[in-house]
Amino acid sequence: MQDQTTAGNLLRTMRANSPLVQCITNFVAMNIAANVMLAAGASPAMVHAEEEAGEFAAISGALTINIGTLSSGWLAGMLKAARSANNAGKPWVLDPVAHYATAFRRKAVAQLLELQPTIIRGNASEIIALAGGTSRGQGVDSRDAVEQAEDSARLLAEKHGCIVAVTGVTDFVTDGQKAKRIAGGSPFMPQVTALGCSLTCLVGAFAAATTNAPFEATVAALAVFAVAGTQAGAAADGPGSFSWRFLDALASLTPEVLDREARVTVA
């Protein structure tokens, strides 16, 4: 029988469903993340107000929460949305942007972790710090290698019963037991702001489109970024042209090419 959980098949399913994803992201990411989602075939909605975030989570296929430009009003909306997603049985993804930088962020992330995200996606410095290690992160940017964050990712996944994705040159995804690495992408990617935030939203789209397969959904979303990133990077002259080429590559990526080009290995 054909494997329904290859990245290509999950991309086909995701596009067929075009899932509504509530993206509580940050002011920097809102526009590019929505464009990335539309190019890939998902249906994003940037809804964060405390007055409506919980109600909206109940009608969305998945929720993503990113603390990049946090304020107390947004945090209230995030907590309501996460509780509502849990009550409705919807997956939700946490992106702990620069959570190590201030006491406000550290406390917010602790509150969000108590609500048991389905998936955590962060860069290496964020994942190392989230597991209690000493990271070299500077603001929103990672200064650690993914390889150094792999043990932290496994620990976090076990502790919180979730999937953890660490991104960088070669990405790593684990449920605490099994793990995969996804190679590809482009050195231009960390030079374009909010691509990690956009990827978190896309992980939400794949999680919404799969039933009880958050590990495979996460691997598929990361593989889409890796293959489209490689394609865009090969033709780009710099981060500016990479940006629009990346959107085009996402939109034109076929499930067949994704399965052929994806460099996914068991870790």
Ligand X SMILES: Cc1ncsc1CCOP(=O)(O)O
Phi, psi of 266 (to 5 degrees): -75, 135
Q: Can residue 196 be called a binding residue for ligand X (CB under 6 A)?
A: yes
Query: Least distance (Å) from ligand X to the CB of residue 247?
Result: 15
In the complex with ligand ADP, the residue whose CB is nearer, 19 or 229, is: 229
Among positions 106-125, residues that touch Mg ion (CB under 5 A) are: none
| 263-266 vs 179-183, strand pairing mode | antiparallel
- Count the site residues for ligand ADP by CB under 6 A: 17
Q: Are the CB atoms for 99 and 126 separated by under 8 Å?
A: yes
Query: And the tokens for 261?
Result: 């080009």
Q: Can residue 6 be called a binding residue for ligand X (CB under 6 A)?
A: no
In the complex with ligand X, the residue whose CB is nearer, 68 or 214, is: 68
- Count the site residues for ligand X by CB under 6 A: 12
In the complex with Mg ion, the residue whose CB is nearer, 176 or 190, is: 190
Q: Which stretch binds ligand ADP (CB under 6 A): 23-31, 59-67, 100-108, 192-200?
A: 192-200
Query: Least distance (Å) from ligand X to the CB of residue 105?
Result: 11
53 binds, among ligand ADP, Mg ion, ligand X, none (CB under 5 to 8 A by kind): none
Among positions 12-71, residues that touch ligand X (CB under 6 A) are: 26, 28-29, 68-69
Among positions 190-229, residues that touch Mg ion (CB under 5 A) are: 196
Q: Can residue 44 be called a binding residue for Mg ion (CB under 5 A)?
A: no
In the complex with ligand X, the residue whose CB is nearer, 140 or 163, is: 140
Query: Least distance (Å) from Mg ion to the CB of residue 62?
Result: 18
Summarize the annotated binding site as residue ranges: 46, 121, 167, 194
Summarize the annotated binding site for substrate as residue ranges: 46, 194
